Each structure stands twice: as structure tokens, then as C-alpha cells.
């Protein structure tokens, strides 16, 4: 009697809620591929693709079986999935997640297909980033015996993301899938996953260069002739442009502490050898972008792309 009552209750509402869940997931996916999602604070396409694997602890009270028989209730099982995400802001992304849970029942195998559109928050920058997500969608049940069923689910997770390279990240998450229950208010199914994400963008460098002093003109200084030895560098006026500070003849008698050919008075990095093109600061890849502002040190790039090749 109890089983028959649950079967009749779930047939129409479950399918209607399944349609609503699919609509939510499709809306999220269309937003993700929209050109309007591009951001000015990134270089490249603000898109991520990921693969995941983990384990789904299926609630014993989950309302996903048709007919409503205890023998048809799915077990817990391993799961695999794919995700696509679009970066909307530095701390905000929208993701579409699709997975498959390989479960079983007393009468055969059952495949559960959760599909959700999620909002993901990454509140802190760095190589190790905590993540929080919440979203909604649909859970499909495809049993070997019996009818397919569907229901709306809510998905929420907490996780941490490790930056392996600028374009690859490891993400570990623990969360819950909340759906309709047979007897209770909600069926809670814990989920643990780990995955690799491939990023198609990198952070742009938004630092602003400080205003640079103008290079002093090499006009002769109207001053009485000085004798050699005033500052101990052996040069005399007008060859000595800095008569009170010892320097080499190559730098017109002015100090050049790092020996890079840019005198200290205009050298923005007086203790580190650089190039005249970068105001005396280091430029390891010789692309004309000061290492302090180069987002791709070691790769020859372009000034308008913050030292990155593309």
C-alpha cells in the first residue's frame, strides 16, 4: 500500500519538475557561451573546461524511482562528470555541471544523471583558493528495469582550488545534492569530487607605472671650470656632468651603481641592472616590458599585452 501511494504521487510532479530543472541548466549554459561574458581584466577567453571524478552517497529516501518500489532504489556509487565555466568577475564564475553516477539496485543497474547550473565564488586570489558554489538543475534516473524518472535538485559545495600552472588547476570539493524525498522534506545526498580544470585565460597585469622623471638634457652647465679630483673620479668640467659625485667616464662622471648605462638619478632600479628602454629596470626576456609589470616573464611578448605573446 505504501509503495503504491508513493508511485502515484511522484509521476506527474517529478516530470514537471524535471522540465524546470532542464530549463535552468540550459539557461546557465547559454549564458556561459555568450560573447557578452568576456572580461577586460583577462587575457584570452574567460572560459574553463574541467573533468571530475568522485563518489555519490545516494540518500535512501531519494524520490527518483518509478515504479516506487524499495527494490528499485539506487545505491551509492562512483561518479564522473564534465563542467564548463565562464568567468564573470575576479571572484565570480558561472558553471554548467553534468555528471553520471553508476549505481545499482536489487533488480539491476541504475544510472543517475545530475545536471546543474551553478554560481561559483572564489573570494581570495592566489595559488590556493577556497571555493563556494550553489546552483540548481535536474537529476535524471535511468534504470535498467522500470521507467525513467526526473526531479529538481539543488547543489551546494565547498572546496579548494590549487593552481598547478597558470592554465591548469586541481579542484577538490565536498557538497550536497538536495532533492525530493519519499518520506521526509528533503533527501540529502553527499558528494565528494576531485577534478582538473583547464583555463583559457590568464590574469592581466593592471599595475600602473609611476611617473618617470625626464632624462636630463646634455646641455653644458654654466659653471667655472673645475680641476680633476673634486669628486675623485678624475674627470673635469664639462666632461663631468656630476662634479660632486664620482662616476665613470662612460656615464659622464655620474654614478651608475648597477653598471647598466643608466645613471642613478634617472634609474628606477639603481641596484639592479636593466636596460635604457625600461628606465634601468630588469627585463629578463628583452621584450621592452619591465619585469615588475611583465605578466609573462621568460616569454617575449608585446607591451600592449603586458609582456605576453598573446
User: pLDDT value at position 206?
Assistant: 46
Of 138, 172, 203, which marks where a domain is finished? 203
Please indicate, yes or no, whether residues 102 and 11 belong to a single structural domain of this protein. yes
Q: Is there a single domain that holds both residue 61 and residue 174?
A: yes
What is the model's pLDDT at position 124? 87
By residue range, what is the domain housing residue 157? Answer: 2-203
Mark whether 87 and 230 lie in a shared domain: no
Asked whether residue 172 falls in the same domain as residue 34, the answer is yes
Burial zone of 252 (CB within 10 Å; 0-12 exposed, 13-18 middle, 19+ buried): middle
pLDDT at residue 242 in the model = 82
pLDDT recorded at residue 190:
95
| Predicted pLDDT at 302 | 78
**Domain closes at, from 161, 182, 203:** 203
Q: What is the pLDDT along the chain (310 residues), one digit of tens a residue?
A: 333 334 434 444 444 544 554 555 455 445 544 444 444 456 778 899 999 999 999 887 777 655 555 556 788 999 999 999 998 888 999 999 999 999 888 778 889 999 999 999 998 888 899 999 999 999 888 887 777 778 889 999 999 999 998 899 999 999 999 987 777 778 899 999 999 999 997 765 544 455 556 666 655 555 555 455 567 666 776 777 787 777 777 777 788 888 888 888 788 888 888 888 888 888 888 888 888 878 788 788 777 777 787 7
Domains of the chain: total:
2
Domain co-membership, 32 together with 148: yes
Amino acid at each position: 500500500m505504501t509503495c503504491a501511494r508513493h508511485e502515484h504521487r511522484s509521476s506527474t510532479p517529478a516530470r514537471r519538475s524535471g522540465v524546470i530543472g532542464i530549463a535552468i541548466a540550459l539557461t546557465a549554459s547559454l549564458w556561459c557561451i555568450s560573447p557578452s561574458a568576456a572580461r577586460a581584466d583577462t587575457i584570452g577567453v574567460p572560459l574553463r573546461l574541467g573533468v571530475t571524478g568522485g563518489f555519490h552517497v545516494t540518500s535512501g529516501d531519494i524520490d527518483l524511482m518509478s515504479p516506487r518500489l524499495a527494490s528499485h532504489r539506487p545505491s551509492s556509487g562512483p561518479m564522473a562528470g564534465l563542467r564548463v565555466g565562464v568567468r564573470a568577475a575576479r571572484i565570480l564564475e558561472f558553471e554548467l555541471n553534468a555528471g553520471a553516477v553508476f549505481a545499482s539496485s536489487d533488480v539491476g543497474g541504475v544510472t543517475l544523471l545530475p545536471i546543474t547550473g551553478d554560481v561559483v565564488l572564489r573570494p581570495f586570489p592566489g595559488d590556493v583558493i577556497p571555493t563556494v558554489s550553489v546552483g540548481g538543475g535536474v537529476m535524471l534516473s535511468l534504470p535498467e528495469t522500470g521507467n525513467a524518472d526526473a526531479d529538481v535538485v539543488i547543489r551546494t559545495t565547498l572546496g579548494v582550488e590549487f593552481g598547478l600552472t597558470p592554465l591548469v588547476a586541481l579542484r577538490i570539493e565536498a557538497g550536497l545534492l538536495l532533492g525530493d524525498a519519499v518520506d521526509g522534506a528533503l533527501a540529502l545526498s553527499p558528494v565528494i569530487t576531485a577534478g582538473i580544470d583547464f583555463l583559457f585565460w590568464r590574469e592581466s597585469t593592471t599595475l600602473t607605472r609611476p611617473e618617470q622623471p625626464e632624462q636630463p638634457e646634455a646641455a653644458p652647465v654654466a659653471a667655472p671650470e673645475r680641476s680633476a679630483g673634486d669628486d675623485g673620479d678624475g674627470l673635469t668640467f664639462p666632461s663631468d656632468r656630476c662634479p660632486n659625485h664620482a662616476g665613470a667616464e662612460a656615464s659622464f662622471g655620474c654614478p651608475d651603481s648597477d653598471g647598466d648605462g643608466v645613471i642613478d638619478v634617472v634609474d628606477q632600479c639603481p641596484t639592479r641592472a636593466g636596460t635604457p628602454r625600461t628606465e634601468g629596470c630588469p627585463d629578463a626576456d628583452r621584450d621592452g616590458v619591465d619585469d615588475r609589470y611583465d605578466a609573462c616573464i621568460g616569454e617575449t611578448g608585446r607591451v600592449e599585452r603586458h609582456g605576453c605573446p598573446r
